[in-house]
Amino acid sequence: MSQSMKRTGENFYSEFAAALVDPNASLPASLRHSVTGRHEDAAARFAVYRNNVAFGLRQVLRDKFPLLRQLLGEETFESLMGYYLDAEMPSSPLLSEFGATLAHFLDTSSAFESLAFIGDVARLEWAMQQAFYAPEHEPMATDRLTALAPDDLVNLRLRFAPCVHILTSPWSIFELWKFLSEEAAAPDFDSVGGQTVMIYRHDYTAQVALLTPEQHRFLTFLADQRSIGDAMIEAHLSLSDFDTIFIHLLEHKLIVSQ
């Protein structure tokens, strides 16, 4: 194949793909003269492809953000998807990456100013998706840790599993997650305040755990490769708080073997 033919083919596919995901784009130049010679026929057939793509992308978002859909209701969620697709068409051929910008879109959309917390609901669901599909890892053996002398344990540096994500929100995001996923009481934003959660995968399910401010700081220091002892001191973490979070990490196999 000559270089000119190769470039022509590449231009055709890039133009075709761009027009598929842009409802305002005109019919690709290469399709404006169909075999029937009628522009209308080609436009009608292309519209079928475009509608199928839009339907598929909406379904991807429905599957990725069920809590957001539940929170907003079907009609409002469908309207949101329309706004989002108009503004944020896929920039990658990987559907697994589509929806990454939804939280930012919600933060900056004037249509949802009265629901300022929904951006963090989208962030939580995106983190749950990332945790669920994170690569497998080899957890550190529990007996290896329990066999360490106290001095060796406090000097140990840990690495977390790739499925671990931390989300800090000015809203009571953990209470909101419980309300949407477990039918708990609706959160009282004024009395609870902001919360930090750890999202991870366990038994092939995305899990969400509430962190105290001290536990959050402790995990942040550990992620920066500080020793357990230094992280405890700088986070002002009590022994009981340490036991709670460290046992949780071990039981859920969230510490990676070095």
Does residue 110 sit in the same domain as residue 61? Answer: yes
Distances from the Cα of 114 to the Cα of 27, 106, 110, 176, angstroms: 38, 11, 9, 16
Between CA 217 and CA 234 the distance in angstroms is: 8
Residue 150 shares a structural domain with residue 217:
yes
- Count the domains in the chain: 2
Cα gap 162→158, rounded to integer Å = 13
What range does the domain containing 209 cover?
Answer: 117-258
Q: How far is CA 216 from the centre of its chain?
A: 19
Residues 139, 240 share a domain: yes
User: What confidence score (pLDDT) does residue 214 get?
Assistant: 97
Q: Which residue, of 49, 83, 115, is where some domain finishes? A: 115
Shared domain check, 258 and 175: yes
Beta-bridge mates of residue 169:
195
- Same-domain pairing of 143 and 253: yes
The structure's pTM equals: 0.81
| End-of-domain residue from the set 115, 144, 175 | 115
Q: Is the pLDDT of residue 32 over 70?
A: no
Is 130 in the same domain as 59? no
Residue where a domain stops, chosen among 85, 115, 145: 115
201 and 136 fall within a common domain: yes
pLDDT tens-digit readout, 63-122: 999 999 999 999 999 989 888 888 877 777 777 888 999 999 999 988 788 888 999 999
**pLDDT reading at 44 higher than 60:** yes
Same domain, 159 and 63: no
Better pLDDT: 218 or 28: 218
Check: CB of residue 154 under 8 Å from CB of residue 165: no
**Do residues 99 and 192 share a domain?**
no
> Phi then psi for 185, rounded to 5 degrees?
-65, 150
Instruction: Check whether residue 102 and residue 127 sit in a common domain.
Output: no
Backbone dihedral angles phi then psi of residue 83, each to the nearest 5 degrees: -60, -45
Give the highest mean pLDDT range of 123-132, 141-150, 186-195, 248-257: 123-132
Tell whether 89 and 153 lie within a shared domain: no
Q: Are 194 and 248 found together in one domain?
A: yes
Eight-class DSSP state of 184:
-
Per-residue pLDDT band at 184 (split at 50, 70, 90): confident
